[in-house]
Amino acid sequence: MIAAAVASGVLIGLVLGLVGGGGSILAVPLLVHVVGVASAHQAIGTGAVAVALNALASLIVHARGGTVKWRCGLVFAGAGVAGALIGAGMGKAMDGERLLALFGLLMIGVGASMFRKRRSAPAPDVRLSRETAGALLPRLVPIGFGVGLLAGFFGIGGGFLIVPGLMLATAMPMGNAVGTSLVAVSALGLSTAGSYAVSGLVDWRLAGLLLAGGAIGAWLGARAGRLLAGRKRVLEHGFAAAVIGVGGYVTAQAL
């Protein structure tokens, strides 16, 4: 179990380092089908702890690189936390097998959406201010709440939902969306983890093992990401195919 947990953490961190998200959507299937956590709810709570803390570490790196749009990220995160707390309560009330089946379907949908070509022109100078609040807030708040609701319900950090959500709401470039998303991923993960921890649904020893593996994977992923920077879209498509495949397996097993 220890080796499987650390290896799962390495994979989660590697994916985060390579494509800037996606570790959380793999955490629950890895915990259930590789590590052998019997309870879907405990897998969700434990995975949320590991994902949130890994996201905080990554946020520090992105903040130093100047890619974080803090005001947009904080508004999105605030709305997302409200949604996540509601979603987590709904998720805990649902049968574990049904929750896993729905989670698998979400994975398939997210993976399929990653194949779509982005059409909006990027706005690298976008920022939330008094002048832009009237245009940005009506998009940031409802999209953030909706993403948070899904993230809390399924116990995921929501990186692959937040990144396109931020781009849709503000038209910020992919690089800024990845960095800014970590503000919301950290907040959503911590709120979901807190909700599950209060219910006694977090295995803290296992979360520690995931974090240890995640640190190794994040370092490897960051190095590999720099080497493969020119093939970013290929990496995203490869990961999207893997997400669809795992989602299909999870749904089939749950049903």
Among 15-29, 43-57, 75-89, name the one with the lowest average pLDDT: 15-29
Quick one: pLDDT at residue 111?
A: 78
Q: How far apart are CA 185 and CA 177, in angstroms?
A: 12
Q: Which residue has the higher pLDDT, 88 or 232?
A: 88
Per residue in 15-44, pLDDT (tens digit) is 776 665 666 677 888 898 899 888 888 988
Residue 187 near residue 227 (C-beta atoms within 8 A): no
Residue 172 near residue 212 (C-beta atoms within 8 A): no
What single-letter DSSP state applies at residue 65?
T
Q: Which residue has the higher pLDDT, 194 or 145?
A: 145
Mean pLDDT, the chain, rounded, equals 83
Q: How far apart are CA 1 and CA 208, in angstroms?
A: 13
Closest CA relative to residue 93, chosen from 52, 161, 152, 46: 152
pLDDT at 235 over 80: no
Instruction: Give the residue-averaged pLDDT of 202-222.
Output: 86
Closest CA relative to residue 190, chosen from 161, 218, 160, 148: 148
Placement of tokens 């974080």 in the chain = 68
Q: How many residues does the chain have?
A: 255
Instruction: Give the residue-averaged pLDDT of 199-213.
Output: 91
Q: Which residue has the higher pLDDT, 132 or 238?
A: 132
Residue 217 near residue 16 (C-beta atoms within 8 A): yes
Closest CA relative to residue 26, chosen from 44, 2, 1: 44
Instruction: Give the residue-averaged pLDDT of 50-78.
Output: 87
pLDDT at 185 over 70: yes
What percent of the chain is modeled with pLDDT above 90?
Answer: 18
Q: How far apart are CA 121 and CA 172, in angstroms?
A: 9
Quick one: pLDDT at residue 74?
A: 96
What single-letter DSSP state applies at residue 115?
T
Q: What confidence category does residue 134 fall into, taking pLDDT thresholds of 50, 70 and 90?
A: very high
Q: Which residues contact 191 (CB under 8 A, 6 or more apart)?
A: 81, 84, 85, 88, 152
Quick one: pLDDT at residue 174?
A: 76
* Amino acid identity, position 162: I
* Amino acid identity, position 247: G
